[in-house]
């Protein structure tokens, strides 16, 4: 796994994200082999190294996939909705992506997820109310009869300009009913995180898909069969187990009881003694708080309403949010035995308005069950 340099003497090995939230492969491997935490850690890193080599052979740098695999605090996320009832074809997914794919920017880097909205967990009335709250309508005629009639295409790492361009360009497509801005947390966003599945990853002009582990990729490597090549995109694929664990974007949501395994394996990437960061004691170094955060991050602290407050106020604010999202950018340095991770904290600014999304970087100290704040971005 290619490392990141931080200073002249320290190189971190980094895994952008690990998916054990909707993917049970790691859990199955651990339970069947009765592997210890240290053995699982070695297995995960070996698989990550193998994936990195496979991607390199396909002309893709794993390090450069970061913006499509982890949340970007300066970019938006968007859910596009389409009425299946107005599509005269059983292959409605193919029809929808035929409209969306030509609109993707040549240099865009996104994870694309998709799926039907209707599930037993969300009755039609709940979906109807959620759309009334979140939908930015296209103006096309639409009547919700059954939530199963709605197909969703979800993109991350979207600029405000690209979001407008998508919406305006799709308005002419009769089946397009509008979009929801899913940048910030909501019950609807959490619902989508349970409902949608990864479709493909776009990295500039490359479309990365999955193929069955026990079969070679087909000619052209276009497993989905969408019209990528028609707009100059090149298809590449990797085995399903690699894609499922390392290349699947996790839509942000609060960490629920069923997500604890995901948090556990993510922490296991950077330590042989994994611990849920939310259960660890948060520490902010006094000198870092006084000499760095209060000076270099004064604007951020002011928006949070803790500028001028004691260090404990910021510690309490962050500690309360550690279960709000999953951890990613899982990094480890063998040289200094340092383990790091990032998390996006969505906080309410003192003056009100849109939530403030802050990237917080932490060092994990598993021996004493502590996490130490490294810095804040945002």
Is there a contact between 71 and 344 (Cβ–Cβ < 8 Å)?
yes
Closest of 77, 82, 75, 230 to residue 150, by C-alpha: 82
**Arithmetic mean of pLDDT over the chain:** 93
Angle at 72 between CA 165 and CA 230, to 5 degrees: 45
% of residues, the chain, pLDDT over 90 = 82
Higher pLDDT among residues 77 and 6, named by residue: 77
pLDDT in tens, 20-35: 998 999 999 999 999 9
Is there a contact between 154 and 78 (Cβ–Cβ < 8 Å)?
yes
Angle at 87 between CA 156 and CA 131, to 5 degrees: 50
pTM, entire model: 0.94
Residue 10 — φ and ψ, nearest 5°? -125, 125
Give the mean pLDDT of 76-84: 98
Q: Which DSSP symbol is given to 277?
A: G
pLDDT in tens, 159-197: 999 999 999 999 999 999 999 999 999 999 999 999 999
Closest of 255, 250, 320, 310 to residue 282, by C-alpha: 320
pLDDT in tens, 95-110: 999 999 999 999 999 9
Looking at the predicted structure, is the pLDDT value of residue 217 above 90? Answer: no
The token pair at 180 is 């929801």
């Amino acid at each position: 796994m290619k490392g990141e340099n931080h200073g002249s003497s320290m190189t971190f090995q980094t895994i952008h994200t690990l998916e054990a939230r909707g993917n049970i492969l790691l859990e199955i491997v651990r339970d069947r082999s009765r592997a210890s935490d240290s053995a699982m850690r070695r297995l995960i890193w070996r698989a990550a190294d193998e994936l990195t080599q496979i991607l390199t052979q396909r002309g893709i740098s794993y390090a450069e996939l970061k913006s499509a695999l982890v949340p970007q605090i300066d970019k938006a996320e968007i859910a596009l909705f389409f009425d299946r009832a107005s599509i005269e074809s059983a292959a409605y997914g193919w029809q929808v992506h035929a409209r969306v794919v030509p609109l993707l920017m040549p240099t865009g880097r996104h994870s694309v997820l998709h799926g039907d909205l209707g599930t037993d967990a969300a009755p039609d009335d709940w979906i109807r109310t959620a759309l009334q709250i979140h939908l930015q309508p296209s103006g096309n005629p639409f009547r919700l009869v059954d939530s199963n009639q709605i197909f969703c295409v979800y993109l991350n790492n979207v600029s405000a300009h690209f979001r407008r361009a998508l919406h305006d360009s799709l308005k002419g497509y009769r089946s397009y009913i509008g979009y929801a801005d899913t940048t910030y947390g909501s019950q609807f966003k959490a619902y989508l995180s349970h409902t949608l599945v990864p479709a493909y990853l776009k990295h500039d002009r490359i479309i990365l898909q999955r193929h069955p582990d026990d079969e070679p990729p087909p000619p052209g490597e276009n497993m989905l069969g969408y019209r990528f090549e028609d707009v100059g995109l090149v298809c590449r694929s990797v085995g399903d187990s690699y894609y499922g664990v390392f290349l699947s974007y996790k839509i942000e949501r609060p960490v629920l009881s069923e997500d604890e395994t995901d948090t556990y394996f993510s922490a296991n990437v950077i330590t042989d003694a994994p611990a849920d960061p939310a259960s660890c004691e948060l520490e902010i170094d006094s000198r870092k708080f006084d000499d760095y955060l209060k000076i270099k991050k004064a604007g951020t602290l002011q928006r949070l309403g803790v500028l001028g407050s004691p260090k404990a106020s910021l510690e309490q604010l962050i500690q309360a949010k550690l279960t709000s999202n999953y951890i990613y950018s899982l990094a480890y340095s063998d040289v200094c035995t340092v383990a790091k991770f990032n998390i996006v904290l969505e906080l309410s600014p003192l003056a009100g308005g849109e939530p403030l999304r802050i990237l917080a970087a932490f060092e994990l100290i598993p021996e004493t069950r502590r996490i130490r704040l490294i810095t804040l971005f945002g």
